[in-house]
Amino acid sequence: MPGAPPVFSIRFTAMASPCEICLAAGDKARARLMARQAIDEVTRIECKYSRYRQDSVVGRINAAAGKEWVDLDEESLALFTYADELFRASDGLFDITSGVLRRAWNFRVPELPAPEVLQSILPLIGWQMLDWRASAPLRRIRLPRAGMEIDLGGFGKEYAVDRAAAILAMQGVRHGYVNLGGDMRAVGPRPDGSAWSIGIQSPRNAGETIASISLESGALATSGDYERFFECNGRRYCHILDPRTGQPVEGLRSVSVLAPLVTVAGSHSTIAMLKGDAGLSFLHESGLAFLAIDQSGNVHLRHQPRGGKVIPTHDMRHFD
C-alpha cells in the first residue's frame, strides 16, 4: 500500500518469557516510545502480582495464609472475581490455589513424586475454601490454612497482554500486535490491510509448525502438554496438573483458541486441557474458534466463532 508506515519490532523479556511488540509507526523512535509505555504496563503487572516478590499482592496474601486478611484494590478484585468465574465454569479444575503442587513436581528431572507427598499437599488446594469479600468497603481476601498459596500464573501473562494492547490502542496504534511468550493480541492488521500470520507449533516435533492462523484483531492463546514435561516409563507427564488428584492431565496435546481478549482465549485453552477427554466438548460449547490436537494426533477445529458459553470478564475497565 503506497504511503503505508513501516513496521517495527521491539523485543524484550518479561514473566520469564521472550516477548515482542510489533507496530507500525512513522519512525523507529516513535515506535520505541509507544512500545515503552506498553512494556512498562507489563512490568507493572509482573511486579504487582508475581509470586516471587514478597511485596506483591500475591506475595502478601500468601505470607498471611492462615492468619490475617489482605485488602484488595479494584484491579485485584477484578482478577480474583475472574478467577472465581473460571473455577465455577471449569467445575473446580481451574484453581489458582493449585500452584502449591510445584512442591511435589519438578519437571526438570524425570522423577515422580511420592504418593504421600501429593497427599500432604492436596488439602491445601481449593479456591472454595478462601474467605473473600467483594463489596465495598471490605474488599479483602484471606487464605484460611497455613501453607496455602495463590498463583495468578494461569492468566496473569494473558492479562498483561490485554493491558499492553490497550495501552498501544490508546496511543493511536492501529497496526500491530503484542506477543508475550506466545500469547498474542492483535491491535489491527498489517498496514496494507492483510492479517498477521501466526504459526502453531507441533506438540511433538519442536521447531515444526503444524498450522498457520490469520489474525487481524482479537487474540490467540495456546496451551499444551509440550511446554514443560518429562517422560518416565513410556508415559508423558506435563506441567498442567489436575487440582483434584495432583496428577498431570491427559487427553489433548495442545489447544489454540481465538477470542476477543487473550485472557479469555488463554483461560479457555487451559480449561480444555484440564478437562482431558471432555475438553473438545467444552470448546464446542464455548462457541469460540479453536484448533485442538488430541492424543492420537488428530486435528479438531472450528474456523469461525458462534454463540456459546464464553466465561465472562465482568470488569472490562481492567481487562481492556
Residue 138: predicted pLDDT: 79
185 grid coordinates: 493480541
Q: Tell me, what's the pLDDT at 318?
A: 63
pLDDT at residue 253, rounded to an integer: 97
For the chain, the domains span: 7-44+156-319, 57-154
pTM of the model: 0.93
Whole-number pLDDT of residue 309? 59
Are domains 7-44+156-319 and 57-154 of this chain identical in fold?
no
Residue 315 pLDDT > 70, yes or no? Answer: no
Is 209 assigned a ligand-binding role in the annotation?
A: no
122-165 pLDDT per residue, tens: 999 999 999 998 877 779 999 999 999 999 999 999 999 999 99
**Partners of 223 in beta bridges:** 255
Mean pLDDT over the full length of the chain:
93
The hierarchical CATH code for the domain 57-154 is 1.10.3980.10
Task: Say whether 270 counts as a known binding-site residue.
Answer: yes
Which cell numbers in the block locate residue 231?
Answer: 517422560
pLDDT of residue 113: 96
Name the CATH superfamily, with its identifier, for domain 7-44+156-319. ApbE-like domains (3.10.520.10)
Average pLDDT of 293-307?
A: 85
How high is the pLDDT of residue 137? 74
Q: What is the pLDDT of residue 61?
A: 98
- The model's pLDDT over 79-123, given as tens digits with 9 standing for 90+, comes to 999 999 999 999 999 999 999 999 999 999 999 999 999 999 999
The rounded percent of the chain whose pLDDT value lies above 70 is 94
pLDDT, one tens digit per residue, over 200-256 is: 999 999 889 999 999 999 999 999 999 899 999 999 999 999 999 999 999 999 999
pLDDT of residue 207: 86
Mean pLDDT, residues 15-23 taken together: 97
C-alpha cell recorded at residue 49: 502480582
